[in-house]
With several copies, the nearest count.
Chain A
């Protein structure tokens, strides 16, 4: 573990935390998966800004309010008591299908991922699912996934109050249009470009209607203070490794 010799003004992770937090503003209950430190930080940031409005629960952590065991998160989703959730994928395609299972032939795969977790349920039921994948490459963002753990869109007769809302990577932020089943680029993170996004994306996507691609806003000074202070400290309780690496904080072993 190396200590950065110079702290950058705004870390790339902080841009994502701010962008995601913007998509969570005003929601009542945000649930975060067990290995999602950046979404977790974004949820904590939203909660710091509106502590009486937005609840945050971290799956698998002892720091949530569940007491019904593993099924409570999924039951809450079924009851409509979760407003936003995060999913990732070994592959994500242009129709927002996610693959958490395998690359190549399912029975003898070239790559095998851990498995679908709760995606094949949560993706259907949580109104605002934000896809999060740090690595933006043609390996991860593909034209068509090899295995659909959970589809981006469903026929009209399939009960589906929820679905994909956006996709955020280390390069940019896409919105998802459920009617057209396509991503539309919303913004590119500072230091990156539309060309880089095009180069690294395996699927076709739309541009903003006015054709102008803005940069993803960076957090202001007050927000940075919140992220690096209370948010980072809460994060260190749940994701110590991440907090130690990014914020130089945490209870490293």
Chain B
């Protein structure tokens, strides 16, 4: 059952306005090349789900006006500072933020993975997160007396987007230990993947690589594109482009600077990593 690789533009052409998209955390297989293609496509009103948090990929989409809701445990640029366009949009009140906490989002995806309408999780009671989340409920543990616990509805994104080192010809994707990506794919209706390369070996048939491979049944479409995580790192591939991230942080402090960044690095064609 082979899968025919396509282009990045073709991948994102499936994403309609208003779609709910699950995105990996900033340290794990982000497809920045798909984020840039989404911006070029001019998609609107996206509902981004950080699994469980997001970075530059979300900040770009927010700054470019593609997003109306973010549902996440955090939007962070890590050591570089606050995510500038997320922070500006949140302060302006133009972005709806569904603040969550990491294991709650993962629990909601696990409920979808299992086909149950909800899951439960310890913690959270007394947190103001619950005040602002009408979709989360405090209920009782039916196996004990007076033991409240939080009930979380299943979350089924329309899309998961990720970038990986390699896919094979059947459409199996090497992810190694980044298992949140497998959870996301299982919980989502469709999964779009960019990969550095497509290899001839069968990743799932080899018992050594099988455990770290996302099976093709969860994969909707694949594009082969080098440096697809850039400027983020790709575990097992390349390190993050610190100079570029600093440049982003400088430019994106203002709306004007951000537009300059977009023009140079998104609209004027697809950049590639300059230095090796």
Contact = CB atoms under 8 A, between A and B. Distances in A.
A50 to B, nearest CB: 10
A166 B102 CA distance: 23
B146 A118 contact: no
A81 B235 contact: no
A148 interface: yes
B213 interface: yes
B39 to A, nearest CB: 22
Contacts of B114: 71, 74-75, 78
11 contacts: A70-B179, A74-B106, A76-B217, A79-B115, A79-B187, A115-B74, A125-B115, A148-B127, A148-B128, A151-B127, A159-B122
A106 B95 CA distance: 12
A241 interface: yes
> Main SS of chain A's interface residues?
loop
Contact of A115 (B75, B92, B172, B179): B75
Contacts of A109: 90-91
B122 A117 contact: no
A112 B90 contact: yes
A233 interface: no
Interface residues of B, number: 71
B74 A78 contact: no
A115 B104 contact: no
A205 interface: no
Interface string A172-197: 00000000000000000000000000
B113 A75 contact: yes
A253 B79 CA distance: 14
A36 to B, nearest CB: 11
A116 interface: yes
Contact of A118 (B101, B125, B204): B101
A159 B52 contact: no
Chain A CB within 10 Å, residue with most, of B110, B116, B180? B180
A78 B215 CA distance: 17
B146 A157 contact: yes
Interface string B101-121: 111101000101111100001
B123 interface: yes
Interface string A66-92: 111111101111111100000000000
A79 B103 contact: no
Chain B CB within 10 Å, residue with most, of A74, A77, A108, A148? A74
A69 B102 contact: no
Contacts of A108: 91-93
A109 B97 CA distance: 12
B72 interface: yes
B210 interface: yes
Given A34-B27, A75-B114, A149 B132 contact: no
A2 to B, nearest CB: 17
Nearest to A62: B235
Nearest to A152: B126
A79 B186 contact: yes
A150 to B, nearest CB: 5
Contact of B74 (A55, A106, A114, A155): A114
A47 B106 CA distance: 30
Interface in A50-74: 51-52, 55, 60, 62, 65-72, 74
